[in-house]
Amino acid sequence: MSFLKSKGFKYLKNLLIGVGAAFVLAGALFKIESWEGASEMLILGMGIEAFIFLFLGVIGPEPDYYWDKLYPGLSNYNSDIQPLIAGDVGAATTPGLNGEVVEQQLGGMLTELQTMSKSMSSLKALQEADFSGTSEQIRQMGNFYSKLNEAMADLAETAEDTKAYKHNMEQLNNNLGQLNSVYGNMIGAMRGGLQ
């Protein structure tokens, strides 16, 4: 069991995982590119990866905490850990702590917390005011865009009416020109008939 915790074994385990992953990726690349030997390469890589997973399941996980570095012997229940305070650990008295000093420090902390609470309340009120103003501006912009769309629609209708008016005026002008020509011919014929 000590071999499983040795540096050499950890290095070998990481090497095996890396090489296995490289074979799987190479097999996938061969398969994607449809190169020759792709199936064999993928089978070899997947077989190695299956072996790695089986291997990792058998050896068990590594502990992921590092308290042993701070407190050597913590993971071993039989180790002889020395107490932090030498001598008799009877009453829970802490030398050097003055109750008044602690009370003053706690009072200062309480004052700071109250100040922070007031600041947070102010920030919250400011944020609410900003957001309510923003929502009002968004609503006004929506109203502006709807009125702008109505004005554009009215303008489009006016343009159509103007085109129709121009067309009617051209027809009226043509009709008046023709009527003028007819009256001119009639007057000319009457003058010619009178002479």
Q: Where are the domains of the chain?
A: 3-61, 136-195
Given a cut of 90, whether residue 123 has pLDDT beyond it is no
Model confidence at 171: pLDDT above 90: yes
How confident is the model at residue 74, as a pLDDT? 64
Determine contact, residues 20/75, Cβ cutoff 8 Å. Answer: no
- Does the pLDDT at position 67 exceed 90? no
In terms of pLDDT, which residue wins out, 18 or 131? Answer: 18
CA 177 to the chain's CA centroid: 73
Which residue, among 42, 13, 40, has the nearest Cα to 25 in the 3D structure? 42
Q: How many CA atoms lie within 13 A of 135 on its CB side?
A: 5
pLDDT at 68 > cutoff 80: no
What is the DSSP annotation of 77-144?
TTS-PPPSS-S---S---TT--HHHHHHHHHHHHHHHHHHHHHHHHHHHHHHHHHHHHHHHHHHHHHH
| Lowest-confidence region among 2-16, 61-75, 103-117 | 61-75
pLDDT score at 3: 76
- Does pLDDT of 4 surpass 70? yes
pLDDT digits (tens, 9 = 90+) for 73-121: 666 666 666 655 555 555 445 555 567 778 888 888 888 989 998 888 8
Name, of 48-62, 130-144, 157-171, the range with top average pLDDT.
Answer: 157-171
Mean pLDDT, rounded, for 154-175: 89
Q: Is the per-residue pLDDT at 188 higher than 60? A: yes
pLDDT of residue 50: 92
Residue 181 has phi, psi (to 5 degrees) of -65, -40
Predicted pLDDT of residue 101: 78
What is the C-alpha to C-alpha distance for residues 55 and 14, in angstroms, rounded to an integer? 12
> Taking 90 as the threshold, does the pLDDT of residue 127 lie above it?
no
Note the Cα 26 to chain centre separation in Å: 33
What is the distance between the alpha carbons of residues 113 and 121, in angstroms, rounded to a whole number?
Answer: 12
Determine the residue type at 56. Answer: L
Share of the chain above pLDDT 90, in %: 8
pLDDT in the model for residue 57: 86
Average pLDDT, the chain: 81
Tokens of 130: 């900003």
Q: How confident is the model at residue 170 (pLDDT cuts 50, 70, 90)?
A: very high
Identity of residue 190: M
Nearest to 19 by CA among 64, 51, 60: 51
